[in-house]
Amino acid sequence: MMRPLLPAVLLAALASGAGAQVADLVDRSALRVCADPANSPLSSEDGSGFENRIAELLAAEMGVPVQYTWFPQVIGFVRQTLSAGRCDLVIGFAQGDELVLNTNHYYTSTHVLVVRSDSDLTEVDHLADPALKGRRIGVVAGAPPTTHVARLGMMNDAKPYDLMTDRRVENPAGDMLQDVQDGVTDAALMWGPIAGPLVKDNPELTMIPLLKESGPPRVFFRITMGVRAGEDVWKRQMNSMIRRHQDEIDAILRDAGVPLVDDYGKSLKPEAEAAEL
C-alpha cells in the first residue's frame, strides 16, 4: 500500500540528533503496536486480523502483552502514532517506504484479479489477456495495477474505488468484491493480502495472482515491519524474531488466505519452503 511521504524537514530531523534519542522511546514492558482498528483482514480492533496474530506471536516470544494504539491508516497515521512515540512497531509496511525504518521483509505478495467462479475469465492470468478487453474492471485509484490498466487502454471501462479511506466508515474492498459477485463489474484488481482472506471461503469468487506483469510499476511488494528512524537495536531484535519464527509467520499468512510469492513476484512460494527456513 502506498502512503504519502513524510515532509523532508521532519525526515531530516529524525535522521539526525533527534533520531539518535528515539531508542529510549521503545517500551520493553509491552509490544506497543500501531494499527488501524478497521483494516480487516489485516488488522482489526477485535483481534481477528492476521497482523494481530503476528503481533501476538512476537509478544509471546518477548514474554510481554500486546498494547495497541489505534488510528486509521490514512494521511497522518505514522505521524500520529509511531513518530509521536505512542507505539513502537507497525506490523505491515512496504519495503523502502521512507516513513519508517524497515525491518527485513517477512513476506512478499502481489496484486490479484478476482472474478466470479462461473465467469469465462477464470483462466486469465495477466492483464494484457484479450479476454479482458471491454470488460468492466474494478480498480483502486492510484494503485500500481491501475497504471497497467491505463497503459492497456482499458480505463474507459474501469470502475475506480478509493485507496486512502477511513475503513471505520467505508469499505472499498468489500464494495469491490460485492460488485463482482453482483455482476456490476466483471473483475476486481486488488492487493492480494486484502483479497485473499476475503475470498478464501467464498466459492462464488476466484482469485488469480498476477505473476506475469512486465514493465513498471511492479505489482508485487515485499512487506516489512516498521520502526522509528534511528532505532537500530530494536530493528535488529525484530529481524531476529522474524528469522526465528518465519515458518510460523508463513503459517499464519497461509491460514488467512494471503497469496505468498517469491521475492521477485514470479511464482507462488511453495509451502515446503517455509519448513526449510
| pLDDT of res. 48 | 97
* Dihedral in degrees, nearest 10, Cα atoms 202, 139, 261, 152: 130
What confidence tens digit (pLDDT) does each residue in 6-18 have? 333 333 333 444 4
| pLDDT of res. 23 | 46
Ramachandran bin of 273, using left for φ above 0, alpha for ψ from -120 to 50, beta for the remaining angles: alpha
What confidence tens digit (pLDDT) does each residue in 223-258 have? 999 999 999 999 999 999 999 999 999 999 999 999
Q: How confident is residue 24, by pLDDT bands cut at 50, 70 and 90? A: low
| pLDDT of res. 275 | 41
- Give the residue, 237 or 166, on which the prediction is more confident: 237
| pLDDT of res. 163 | 77
Kindly state the average pLDDT of the residues 150-173: 88
Q: Do domains 31-108+220-256 and 110-209 have the same CATH topology?
A: yes
**Cβ atoms of 101 and 227 closer than 8 Å:** yes
Q: How confident is residue 272, by pLDDT bands cut at 50, 70 and 90? A: low
Q: In a 3-state reduction of DSSP, which class is residue 217?
A: coil
CATH fold for the domain made of 31-108+220-256: D-Maltodextrin-Binding Protein; domain 2 (3.40.190)
How many Cβ atoms from other residues are within 10 Å of residue 263's Cβ? 11
Domain ranges of the chain: 31-108+220-256, 110-209
Asked if pLDDT for residue 274 goes beyond 60, the answer is: no
**If one looks up domain 110-209 in CATH, what number appears?**
3.40.190.10
- Indicate the range of 159-173, 188-202, 217-231 predicted with least confidence: 159-173
What confidence tens digit (pLDDT) does each residue in 95-138 have? 987 899 999 999 999 999 999 999 999 999 999 999 999 999 99
Residues 6+ apart with CB under 8 A from 273: none
Kindly state the average pLDDT of the residues 162-180: 86
| pLDDT of res. 77 | 95
| pLDDT of res. 214 | 87
CA distances from 55 to 35, 95, 158, 186, 247 (A): 10, 18, 37, 36, 15
| pLDDT of res. 216 | 93
- Give the residue, 107 or 168, on which the prediction is more confident: 107
| pLDDT of res. 11 | 36
- Indicate the range of 143-147, 163-167, 259-263, 264-268 predicted with least confidence: 163-167
What confidence tens digit (pLDDT) does each residue in 26-81 have? 999 999 999 999 999 999 999 999 999 999 999 999 999 999 999 998 889 999 99
| pLDDT of res. 9 | 33
| pLDDT of res. 97 | 79
